[in-house]
Structure 1
């Protein structure tokens, strides 16, 4: 009976710690994100890409691509500024466990990465994708930018919750797996990202 009671107490304590830590992380990230319109721009760009890719008339499709350029440039600028601003956050509060699941105090272990550096990786990747790669079509460019944005969102949810929760959310909302998004970003982004977040990476 004592063993069962102790187990219940341990589970309750773990749940309380988890809730407190997650709320602190959500509040921290939200404080920085609230200075920008990144989420609004992401939604507008993603919806615009869907319209462009579904448009049969070439002239109308080209018009949509051109109209989206302002939103894309705004995303690049604001992602860079977010990474710069978040760089001032307390280092102890920005460590993220590389484990797929949440464990108390796991972010303090060596197998963790710095969210400040992750945002820098994402900002550089978004801007490279917005600039476009040599020879890439508008469709290819749109897919690359979309993947960069999805991976940014995944990392934000990983920071606030866990990698498993972030992956499940992306699969549910965007029908895209973590592996698919990672495979679709630009090669330089993928290399920098994996060096940071993979177990055994520089973190």
Structure 2
């Protein structure tokens, strides 16, 4: 068998390994998210903030904001419960590669400094969303909506990073929301940003 044939076989093998690993992670995360309404509530908030900003009628804006505030509180509670649920994952299943691209057998092969624990990441997200929902930073409504949007986008980024890779997560963030990982990280609360960077690196 010549060299090119070996390379082709290796590439095919890696492709199937990647698909199997990613499908397993997607299924794992999906099973943990299934009891909650986290994803639809995130979408409700992200779309709702834009609708609130575009609304000219003062009374209507107030009504929309009240609805959004109630959704924030519900989401914060669900994320708290979700993070507690995920904390029960076995450690090997919770390890995520910090490398930009997917690597086969990354968890057993990489040293601890090249991995992060997604259980801690979800705890950081739950704490960050709860703090902004309670308006602990003391922001006006517009700034609070902006910060909460960033907190939710960073959470979404972590989910994609866990299931696929950091590079894919960043590309999806840019494609779906027109914003970069760097911009999102700069827009979350300082407490979330510091904890997230300490856990995952830049």
SS in 2 for 1:69: helix
Contact 1:147 / 1:184 at 8 angstroms: preserved in 2? yes
Q: How does 1:119-138 map to 2 (within 5 A)?
A: 119-138=122-141
Aligned residues: 199
Corresponding residue for 1:65?
65
Q: 1:54 to 1:191 in 2, by over 3 A?
A: same
SS in 2 for 1:96: strand
Corresponding residue for 1:181?
184
Which is further off, 126-135 or 154-163?
126-135
Corresponding residue for 1:190?
193
Rounded to whole Å, the distance in 2 between the matches of 1:134 and 1:189 is: 12
Gaps of 5+ in 1: none
Q: How does 1:101-112 map to 2 (within 5 A)?
A: 101-108=101-108, 109-110=110-111, 111-112=114-115
Give 1:59 shift: 2.6
Give 1:72 shift: 0.5
Corresponding residue for 2:18?
18
Rounded to whole Å, the distance in 2 between the matches of 1:76 and 1:23 is: 28
Rounded to whole Å, the distance in 2 between the matches of 1:173 and 1:95 is: 26
Normalised by the length of structure 1, the TM-score is 0.94
Which is further off, 84-93 or 53-62?
53-62
Corresponding residue for 1:75?
75
Contact 1:96 / 1:114 at 8 angstroms: preserved in 2? yes
Corresponding residue for 1:113?
116
SS in 2 for 1:173: helix
Instruction: Give the one of 154, 159, 163 matched to 1:160.
Output: 163
SS in 1 for 2:69: helix
Cα RMSD for the two superposed structures: 1.2
Corresponding residue for 2:142?
139
Contact 1:133 / 1:141 at 8 angstroms: preserved in 2? no
Give 1:134 shift: 4.5
Q: 1:135 to 1:91 in 2, by over 3 A?
A: closer
Normalised by the length of structure 2, the TM-score is 0.95
Give 1:129 shift: 1.0
Rounded to whole Å, the distance in 1 between the matches of 2:158 and 2:137 is: 28
